[in-house]
Chain A
Amino acid sequence: MKRLAFALLVLAAAPSLAAAPASRAPAAAGGMDAPRSQPLSGGELDARTNEIGALLRCPVCQGLSVADSPSSMARNMKAEVREKLAAGYDREQILASFERSYGEFVRLDPPLRGVNWLVWLGPLAGLVAGGAVVAWALKRSSRKAGAAEAAGSASAPSDLPSRDTLPTDARLAAAVRRARELAYGWPDGIPPKPRSSVS
């Protein structure tokens, strides 16, 4: 139940979170805003260039990142990432600038917004729904079993022999009771009283 409540909370929060990046996009449409980070250089610049290159899809390759592709297109894109980092742009600004040209396709790690929420929350929702169905089915079957047990002890509703019924033939009845004593350890083959509480 707690999990379900959590999932509902997350789903309820989704639209507001999704709206945030969308409302920011048009403002930056013309070019790039002012750099939001510190200009980088040296080893840190190399490391961050590779890090951001790994998040960008090489447009002319099949499923390769800009950091991994040897194509000249990827080299050019990497050079542009490097230049923007050196100018002080942050990761999100750089990714957004490529996204303006190529669309969300260029991001190898799609951001959490809009329809993408489905990818992240779909499996979770499926798990919760599946768990609920299993819980419901288990509860129902145990309730059914309990009802059948109770009914069986009172008066047998079906034609099936229950553990309380004995054949009418006296000799056969004695044999059945003997068998029950041996098999289940019931004294004289008489079954114990069924438990009144149903789990």
Chain B
Amino acid sequence: MATAPIPGAAPARASRINPWVLAAGLAVVVPLLAVLVLNLGRDPHSIRSPLIGRPAPAFSLAPVGGGPPIGLESFRGRPVVINFWATWCVPCFEEHAALTAAARTFREVQFLGVVYEDEEARTRAFLAERGSSYPSLLDPEGRAAIAFGVFGVPETFFIDGAGRIVEKYVGPLDRGTIATLIARTKGGAP
């Protein structure tokens, strides 16, 4: 067979793209790229709590150091800040001072600690050493942590006077952030 080019045949067609193929390709690739680009800045581990805007789960837990159980209902009408923490959690040390100071500053707000997977003796020693201006509650079976959808410590919930969760903050808090979130919680109260 001769391999000489046949006049008037193929070469012109090779560079032309079938518009249907192009459209089908774009229909598949563009949405995938859009999803990718939109989620580039998102941390896949940070999941928005479904509890935000909903009533806070009820609990009744004994405070560290003894005493009658404390429930959330008894603070109805006041904003409540619930901080899940543990003595084995290093970021919790950092925010402990800020929370203690904030509890003294914002007298109208009730601060509560909930001890997450820790022993009472260690917790008591920690609080005796570092001081505290609000009660910490024991949650030995993790019921409150599960009800609040806690993934780890520290996690802090800001609850308005009507008992609704307004904000959830993951990670150590500083004074500025506490003040901002308390202001938002008060603003959200009816």
Number of interface residues of B (CB under 8 A): 25
Do A101 and B149 have beta carbons less than 8 Å apart?
yes
Say yes or no: is A102 at the interface (Cβ < 8 Å to chain B). yes
Do B6 and A159 have beta carbons less than 8 Å apart?
yes
Say yes or no: is B104 at the interface (Cβ < 8 Å to chain A). no
Smallest CB gap from B7: residue in A: A159
Stretch at the interface among A71-79, A178-186, A189-197: A71-79
CB distance from A127 to the nearest CB of B (A): 14
| Residues of chain A from 132 to 175 with CB closer than 8 A to chain B in the complex | 133, 158-160
Mark B33-51 against chain A: 1 for CB-CB distance below 8 A, else 0.
0000000000000011111
Do A73 and B7 have beta carbons less than 8 Å apart?
no
| Residues of chain B from 105 to 143 with CB closer than 8 A to chain A in the complex | 117, 141-143
Smallest CB gap from B50: residue in A: A103
Q: Which of A29, A59, A99, A158 contacts B55 (CB 8 A)?
A: A29
Q: How far is the CA of A133 from the CA of B54 in the complex (A)?
A: 48
Say yes or no: is B8 at the interface (Cβ < 8 Å to chain A). yes
Q: Which of B24, B50, B143, B150 contacts A99 (CB 8 A)?
A: B50
On whether A72 and B117 interact (CB within 8 A), knowing A29-B55, A80-B146, A103-B149, the answer reads yes
Q: How far is the CA of A99 from the CA of B149 in the complex (A)?
A: 9
Q: How far is the CA of A81 from the CA of B50 in the complex (A)?
A: 20
CB distance from A185 to the nearest CB of B (A): 22
Say yes or no: is A123 at the interface (Cβ < 8 Å to chain B). no
| Residues of chain A from 21 to 73 with CB closer than 8 A to chain B in the complex | 29-31, 59-60, 72-73
Centre residue among A59, A79, A101, A158 by max chain B CB count within 10 A: A101
Smallest CB gap from A29: residue in B: B54
Q: Which of A76, A98, A100 contacts B51 (CB 8 A)?
A: A100
Q: How far is the CA of A144 from the CA of B146 in the complex (A)?
A: 66
Q: How far is the CA of A159 from the CA of B8 in the complex (A)?
A: 9
Q: How far is the CA of A158 from the CA of B151 in the complex (A)?
A: 73
Say yes or no: is B147 at the interface (Cβ < 8 Å to chain A). yes
Q: How far is the CA of A13 from the CA of B141 in the complex (A)?
A: 43
CB distance from B42 to the nearest CB of A (A): 14
Do B57 and A101 have beta carbons less than 8 Å apart?
yes
Say yes or no: is B69 at the interface (Cβ < 8 Å to chain A). no
Q: Can you report 12 A-B residue pairs in the complex whose CB atoms are below 8 A from each other?
A: A29-B54, A60-B152, A79-B141, A80-B146, A100-B51, A100-B54, A101-B50, A101-B147, A101-B148, A101-B149, A159-B8, A160-B6
Q: Which 9 interchain pairs have the tightest Cβ spacing?
A: A76-B142, A101-B149, A103-B50, A102-B149, A59-B151, A105-B47, A72-B117, A76-B141, A101-B147
